[in-house]
Amino acid sequence: MSTQPEGTPTYLRLLPWSGLEGKPAHLVTDGTATPLSLLADRIEEQQIQTAIVILCLAKPMIEGTARLTTGELRWICRRLVESLTDVLNVCESRGLRIPLYDEPDDIDGKLSQQP
């Protein structure tokens, strides 16, 4: 039995953490703020802020004058890949929540004539 009124739209939100067995976790929502969606918002913001810090730390480490060991380069590459993965997950989640554009009416046929 559903607690949502009939006709209420539902959305599938990709969460910023993994579910069981490392699979993507999702939240079925009607778009209202819930404790779980607010927690996901806070974690997404933390992931973005962490990526900014890692990027700021990585930039001087990869300049031509930097003298890093192979282990140090691997370490910073792992951090960059982890933060990029998190931020791409945030982008995907937020992108899925953006409504699609309505197709404009092609009154004059001008849209179909563009290259």
What pLDDT, in 10s, does the model give residues 63-88? 888 888 999 989 999 999 999 999 99
pLDDT at 112 over 70: no
Per-residue pLDDT, averaged over 31-39, amounts to 91
Least confident range of 16-25, 36-45, 103-112: 103-112
Q: Give 49-61 pLDDT, tens digit per residue.
A: 999 999 999 998 8
What percentage of the chain reaches a pLDDT higher than 90? Answer: 50
H helices then E strands: how many in the chain? 3, 2
Q: Give 13-33 pLDDT, tens digit per residue.
A: 999 999 889 999 999 988 889
| 3 state SS of 5 | coil
Is the pTM above the cut of 0.85?
A: no
